[in-house]
Structure 1
């Protein structure tokens, strides 16, 4: 068999096997990642919805508490009938459909729009449950107010109750401040969450489920008011679930947990998307990769025949290649089978190239380990020392200043203690990426160890302190955003100390020490802030 034929058949077979394996591996991995991204995206929407619901309810609850305190302070005769104050609250916050004040018997003495004035609501939960302590009631249909309040769209009115007792300065019960929140605000929150998603993802729907009877409080119109019981499977944030209609949806789960002094009503937020729509990108990519792999196999099989003709040149070509490799030139030597002379020669040359390549790789790995942090890939303490030596040899920069920023993550030890060192390492890597993205491309950033980083930024000497403060606050703001690590939401802070060379000193090492001292000042002044050369800046 001719050399060209042997090579062409062998090369075509190897390319086919390799491309098939590579296409399968890439397809499996990328589709899995895309599906995970789709599920996590839905979970983020569910989490944001639950968070916004809790924050909204806490805000309204706090406003009712503040109004109650104002009324408590007004102990002059007749001032509990301050309809102007109630109407102003409703005007400022339209979500309050009705706000009223009762006496100690449950008779409404003042109300927005004078609705229900002089009516006895003592048997209503909004009064009965607020006699001794503040009360927040779950979503319910309007009973007394359904015919008294305007209802442009004609849909059934639903409210969330918030009420609190009113007491005088002697702590004697004087009545109840009661408020009905229109449930329509929840759809406004839902629209805010869905708006940025609808252009990218089709068919997304959000549900709010009652904690008591699993009734759908918010969702598609034809499903509201009906019970919904879904299993969350193995407890993950999202899963592919078969719904009562028999269709499979990618379904994300989040729980309302309250906010500050508002304990929450235990609502469950569910976000779903048809599985076909959610995983469309992953399936399209999978088909494309398989097609690309198959096409590559055919193309490379054809090319192998043409390449084989060139490789089957006289043995002088391989001999020349061997001489070039021995002289230190880098050449790829093919593995030849079938012809003994070429097989022996190609094997010898390949071993030589491999030996040289391994030595070069080892040197490169040793240099990488010596000067870079193994966790983040950033320059390490040794690189920092070399950088400082370089600065010492240079003259003071003309018209420029170098800002030394010393970073320390606040709350990192608590993350290690609570979630383990593996999560702590992942947090360090994510924090390093955020800091790196905040800095400019040419800025120096290194990790000294633990949760400590140092950055060196060059500015013009015009207002370098103000610019340093702005950059530090950007880093603090970026690191204050929650981290999502292996399903855990983690919140940390960052204290930063800074000093400027040559404005704060001629010796770079002394300036770095000043930045370190400023870092300790930032921590002493409350953490999660920036201090420059010992002087605290506003957050």
Structure 2
């Protein structure tokens, strides 16, 4: 583009800008000033959306691991029960009168058991808790393995003949005095834990729980609207990925064709896979609603400010300018009147104050969205980390000593488990209020997440350690006081780890880690404890 053309375009832009009124210019300036704030809030909301997806991924994996752990615990319990039963003479000898009765009592005692049975080495049934007709298990792989190894074995998942539900069979040989197998004791283990886990997942996320055997056949699925239990899904892309890994997270189309986030884990002894899946669209729908709501609030705030400035410009500026213009024109005319008003009506300071108040309100709203914990009203983790960075950047001469108190609640998890998260949230809200009342103006209190809090005490006058412990004890006493949440009497305590900066560490980040180690030591020593980093031994102070 030639210099002449560029000059012509610049002149036209200048001419158009000159025609734009003062009010339009001010509105344009305000919009340009607000755009970075709007962009910041949108970015924060998008980050929250991504965090919702990441939390869903972690939750599915944790629930799958939990199912695998429950299965492992049940199998271990079955092993212990079989070991005890092999010591009972009536069972060792398969006494016709006493054996079945004792096995029936054992079945009633353990909810995971579908029944017990004693078999000869040739596989014939001698006595059982729930069966009297003849039965032979000599051809079963787990029975052969028990005979060969003389040790505890577990079968792959089997479908019960009567219940039509998946179960596993645990086998333990009964050895004679010469070490040979004289009997084999079997126990059936059902999947009650799978139903309980499925109800919890369906309640929390609307997800599904599936159990596959080592060949990719569906043994159980809750819920199962397609009726695919018992079918082989080994060729499904998602199932193929699951079968080659021990545990992990997969984002792919589920068995019903719906995009899902699936966490999976392998069940010990059997090679089976438990898969917990939630619909990705459901997670995104909730996140998108929050994004839309937040964007709508910001848009409303911007429109409110723009509209308010438009009116204020009319009332406080443009009306006065028109009066001045009219006065100037009158003064320039032949009808000059020395008594005519030549100045506009005085502007009331209250109108300017109202504009300033509206801007401050907007700033507080944006700051609350970005940096305040919505539940407790304390600073959130993002604000805490930003505050720590500001402390690091202060000149050495302006820095004062700081006591770092890391706080973790005692007994909070049972409140959530027994009464629900709504009651837990109500308790956390009261705890946040109590914590704010325990610190001075100028000190800093934040909720780091879950039931973890932090307090930074400024020590400009070099208060002794006793002062810091008094504050910590005041926090413990305040938090430990009875809480009424949703009409329930809730008892919660807390433990506190303390570190001093720069006494315990010249680097503030290291001092924060020291406070975390002190809190870990306090939690290990019991409820309601206060532990300072300076009290830790070399072993306790090593990285965790």
TM-score under structure 1 normalisation? Answer: 0.56
Matches within 5 A, 1:462-477: 476=523
Alignment partners' CA distance in 1, 2:461 and 2:176: 66
Distance verdict in 2 for CA 1:80–1:172, change over 3 Å: farther
User: 2:213 maps to what in 1?
Assistant: 210
Q: Deviations over 1:158-200 (max 9, x none)?
A: 431111111123322212112223x3xx2x3233223344344
Residue 273 of structure 2 corresponds to residue 290 of structure 1: no
User: Hey, what does 1:388 align to over in structure 2?
Assistant: 465
Map 1:269-308; keep pairs closer than 5 Å.
269-308=274-313
* 1:452 CA drift (Å): 5.2
Q: Structure 1 378/206 Cα, relative in aligned 2: closer, same or farther at 3 Å?
A: same
The residue that corresponds to 2:259 in the other structure is 248
Give the equivalent residue in structure 2 for 1:329.
none
Counterpart check, 1:223 vs 2:228? yes
Residue matched to 1:446: 499
Q: Does 1:121 align with 2:124?
A: no
Out of 180, 193, 206, the position equivalent to 1:172 is 180
SS of 1:371 mapped into structure 2: strand
Cα displacement (A) at 1:104: 3.1
Bigger mean CA deviation after superposition, 377-386 or 63-72? 377-386
Instruction: Give, in whole Å, the separation in 2 of the partners of 1:89 and 1:521.
Output: 50
Question: Aligned partners of 1:301, 1:41: CA distance in 2, in Å?
Answer: 43
Total equivalences in the alignment: 375
Confirm or deny: 8 A CA contact 2:159 2:167 kept in the other structure: yes
Q: CA RMSD in A?
A: 5.1
- Measured in 2, the distance between the counterparts of 1:384 and 1:444 equals 22
For the pair 1:66 / 2:119, whether they are aligned, the reply is: no
Q: Would the aligned equivalents of 2:404 and 2:515 in 1 still touch at CA under 8 Å?
A: no
Secondary structure of residue in 1 paired with 2:199: helix
2:35 is equivalent to residue 17 of structure 1: yes
Structure 2: runs of 5+ lacking an equivalent: 1-17, 322-359, 361-389, 407-447, 449-453, 477-491
Per the alignment, do residues 384 and 224 of structure 1 end up closer, same or farther by CA in structure 2, a change over 3 Å counting?
farther
Distance change >3 Å, CA 243–CA 402, structure 1 → 2: closer
Deviation for aligned residue 1:125: 3.4
Report if the CA contact (8 A) 1:252-1:272 is conserved: yes
Q: For 2:72 and 2:100, how far apart are their aligned partners in 1?
A: 29
2: distance between equivalents of 1:379 and 1:8? 42
Counterparts in 2 of 1:115 and 1:192: CA distance versus 1, 3 Å:
same
Paired residue for 2:14?
A: none
- The whole-number CA distance in structure 1 between the counterparts of 2:474 and 2:96 is 60
CA, structure 1 residues 127+299, in 2 after alignment: closer, same or farther (shift >3 Å)? same
2:88 is aligned with 1:88: no
Q: Distance in 1 between matches of 2:458 and 2:296?
A: 48
Match status 1:108 vs 2:116? no
